[in-house]
Amino acid sequence: MHRIKLVLFVLLFVSLQTQSLSKQLHHDPIIDGVLNRLDSLRLTSSVQESAVKGLLQRLIPTHFHSFEFRIISKDVCGGSSCFVIENYDGSRRIGPEIVIKGTTGVEIASGLHWYLKYKCNAHVSWDKTGGIQIASVPQPGHLPRLASKGILIRRPVPWTYYQNVVTSSYSYVWWGWERWEREIDWMALQGINLPLAFTGQEAIWQKVFKRFNISKEDLDDYFGGPAFLAWARMGNLHAWGGPLSENWLGDQLLLQKQILSRMLELGMTPVLPSFSGNVPSALRKIYPGANITRLDNWNTVDGDPRWCCTYLLNPSDPLFIDIGEAFIKQQIEEYGEITNIYNW
């Protein structure tokens, strides 16, 4: 399937109602093909198991040796994703007490969260919704035992999506790696396996638009400032709060690579950005025959042409495919072939 068509298909697919999606999952060969493709991109079992051990070390270091983690096949779960929690067969006071198995690192992490929540009465949340409350977890050697058969919980739908395209301009844009690491840990514990990963895309766009003869000065008039990235990306405004420095662009790209690396280590499928049609105004002069429309004022910058009324390239124009494909290829060059799911 052509990559751009695949992008459009996946965007439609992700927007389906959860209940409708659940009914269709095992009956649509295209969906099965996408799922199989994404499964094939996952990192090795040992990498995912180690990533969850790292999460455990950050969350509750006193119990680092109390849990054993193992990746298992979907066959154990009847063909779907799941986690299994069992008592460790051995001494409770030396080494592991509880074994948590899962089809990915995310499933193992969500199994750990389930055990801490329902067997140890612990609470793991954002700081403003209670934070991490683990004082109720018994000391190593005294963790609660499970019934002899253990626990098996299947994921009701294949993907749990997280974030939206403007979240990054509320608070994420100010985060460094330490804060992102905590958020990704939280995602894994909550079973999120399809997170949006929009950081650093302006650095990618800079490289792409350079191929289309767009200058740095043109991009300074196009990119919004850090607090307004989402609105510039959506074509609501341009240049407001900018320009973006080269150091900032480079730092954001490095941060994105850290974010993606950890998401992949945990078995997540990142959702990368794609091309929505918004273009710098300079593209009209460089490609005078392109079907580019100036949009109306978004009513936030008083109609001032320095910041309002951005430009949209018609999706039917061949240039749309050229730019969109170049953007995805540049991301693959930067990050590797890590996903087939994109958003804008």
pLDDT at 299: 77
pLDDT at 166: 87
Q: How far apart are CA 193 and CA 114, in angstroms?
A: 16
| Domains within the chain, CATH numbers bracketed | 45-158 (3.30.379.10), 162-343 (3.20.20.80)
Q: Are strands 272-273 and 278-279 parallel, antiparallel or unpaired?
A: unpaired
pLDDT for 330 beyond 90: yes
Q: How far apart are CA 105 and CA 45, in angstroms?
A: 8
Query: Which residues on adjacent β-strands are paired with residue 194?
Result: 161
pLDDT for 19 beyond 50: no
Element (H, E) at 287: none
**What confidence tens digit (pLDDT) does each residue in 185-240 have?**
999 999 999 999 999 999 999 999 999 999 999 999 999 999 999 999 999 999 99
- Average pLDDT on 66-94 reads 90
Q: What tokens appear for 32 in the block? A: 């099965």
Nearest Cα neighbor of 319 from 265, 273, 280 is 280
pLDDT for 146 beyond 60: yes
pLDDT for 1 beyond 50: no
Q: What tokens appear for 229 in the block? A: 């990235």
* Amino acid (1-letter code) at residue 149: K
**What confidence tens digit (pLDDT) does each residue in 245-284 have?**
999 999 999 999 999 999 999 999 999 999 999 999 999 9
Strands (E) across 41-117 are located at 67-71, 82-87, 98-102
